[in-house]
Amino acid sequence: MECLAQLEALCERLYNSLDSAERAHAESTLKCFSVNTDYISQCQYILDNASTPYALLLASSSLLKQVTEHKLPLQLRLDIRNYIINYLATRGPDLEPFVVGSLIQLFCRVTKFGWLDDDRFREAVNELINFLSQVT
């Protein structure tokens, strides 16, 4: 838990610090989440356990970069897609708008890149229609 608090403090510095050296240090320290595929599960852990919106944004934007820049296995992409849609359904109303926007962008990107790979990605349209009909 102490490591999560340190990560949240680094994220706060990354997104809010006026000191460019402090921001650069935070960025270089946190870069591993967006470039190393071994950190995908840690991003999910951050989404599940972090309390600050900046840590959630880091996790979401890191996953977006991972999905965009790496050819991830089909099952992992499906898992990310399903996780994000469930996460938005359960926690979306309580999140900051910039975090929701980042998560929606991630969902759209993983769906776009998987559209031709597996029919389950195409189910997103019907799932979203059902989801939105329950919310309104």
130 — pLDDT class (breaks 50, 70, 90): confident
Give the pTM.
Answer: 0.88
Per the structure, the count of domains in the chain is 1
Average pLDDT over residues 117-127: 82
The chain-wide mean pLDDT, for the chain, equals 90
**pLDDT of residue 1 exceeding 60:** no
CB of 23 closer than 8 Å to CB of 30? no
| pLDDT confidence of residue 58 | 96
Q: What is the pLDDT of residues 15-47, one digit of tens each?
A: 998 999 999 999 999 999 999 999 999 999 999
The 10 Å Cβ neighbour count of residue 46 is 24
Q: How far is CA 22 from CA 11, 17, 53, in A?
A: 11, 7, 19
Average pLDDT over residues 94-101: 94
Residue ranges of alpha helices (H) inside the chain are 2-16, 20-30, 32-35, 40-49, 53-69, 74-91, 97-114, 124-135
Residues spanned by the domain of 39 = 2-135
User: Which residue matches tokens 């490591």?
Assistant: 3
Counting residues of the chain whose pLDDT is more than 90, the rounded percentage is 73
Higher pLDDT, 136 or 2: 2
